[in-house]
Structure 1
Amino acid sequence: MNTLQTKTVGQMVTENIKTAHIFKKYNIDFCCGGGISIQKACERANVSFDDLASDLQNLDQPKSRATDYNNWDLDFLIDHIINIHHRYVEENILMLVQYGTKVAKVHGERHPELLKIQELFAMVATELSGHLRKEELILFPFIKKMLQAKKENTSLARPQFGKVDHPIKMMEVEHEEAGAILKKIAKLSNNYTPPEGACNTYRAFFSKLDEFEQDLHQHVHLENNILFPKALQLEKTIQYFE
């Protein structure tokens, strides 16, 4: 029998806290209900053991992704940002809100900083949700229009926002605001260090917050340091008609 089938959910999470996020994805209780085997947990949750086992086994596998972002075509870079980083934010916000609510409810009296962390993450979640929509509906499509105009040597209608630096400046300000909130969360959580004896949900919450901040750093780097400067240079090659 596969060792994963006999190992308990709690054992798996204790060995690697990141596995908690996989169990959460499949609606398997890894905290209070962590004493049963992974096989039994799958049966109770009516989920495929093979699917869950595949996710667990691939959890720490390095992703073979080219990293020479500076030489990527801008339209490809935009698609990468959306498919990797925007989707990551969207897929993990709800999980973090659920973790935060549960941990604050159970441990908030002894650790009041959790209530503030919960409040701050709700703020960053709201800000990022609106931020991603503005990029996907306004800024990114316009950058792609500029790319097409350059390729075809045609002119573009001037956008309602005037010049591309206007939405870019707005996005950069919002990046700074989100980053500042996450810095406050990091400080309140002692750099995502759970207290001694913390339960698995508590540990999973801090682990995921740490991962979320690291992903945002990469996300913002790709936009602020590569995409946005190149979009500003691209605009200089574009002719507008009124």
Structure 2
Amino acid sequence: MDLTYWYLFPLGIIISAIVMSAGISGANFWIPVYLFILKLDPLISFWLALLTMVFGFGSGVTRNLHQRTVNWYLVKKYLIPTIPGAIIGSLLTAHLDANLLVIIFGIFVFIYGVFLLYNTIRSKQECQQHNTIYWKFGFMAGFLKGLIATGLGKIIVPCIWDHERIKNPAEVIGSTVLIIFIVDIVAALTRMNPVFVDALLNNSEQLIDIMTFVVPSVLIGGQLGPMAIKNVNKKALRIYISLMLILVSFFILGNVGSGGI
């Protein structure tokens, strides 16, 4: 076994546990790892992040199913707009500049993280419950997932947070994890055009070596994350998610500025 990428195993456990507990896409962390540490091509990095999350979120899904923290009604409703959005976004990846997309998304993550943190700390009372399904936001979430392999969790979590069918914060995260898992599969398969498949085959040996350490790490982390937030305070979880998003934005923009893609 080639041990060149051994460090991806402990790193993958940490990343997967964090994203499973926050209900955000692991691509937020894996894209910078693949781009800036492993120096992979941007389009391959995006696709590899999707594949990584299929394994990691698949593990998280099993844990959330065991804990019964999945709201099937909301999962089915939000798959209706997110899946076509992911297909359209994935089809556009071959025509847009990946470097610019990374920078734009890094800025978006920072703004959203600060906004969510500010609103959470400032709020003195719980938001009123609703029974709305935000179809447009669902489509946008799927589109971002297909286009840049991330963004779905950031949009879906606020949409379902105060829905009247949600019983506790863990159910918000569990439902989001399942949506992300399914849409990840759709986005990864949609990107498989002949030119891209050829690029994967040309780098297959390196990619197999990488995934040898990544896959088992995200499977382990996917079990740890849901256990960590099962009984967490709702406001505390919002603050945690906000800080994670701000941290991610600093990491992405800092690496783009220092070394480029």
Task: Choose 1 or 2 for highest CA Rg.
Answer: 1
TM over 0.5: no
Superposition TM-score, scaled by structure 1 size:
0.29
Q: Which has the higher contact order (CA 8 A, sep 6+)?
A: 2
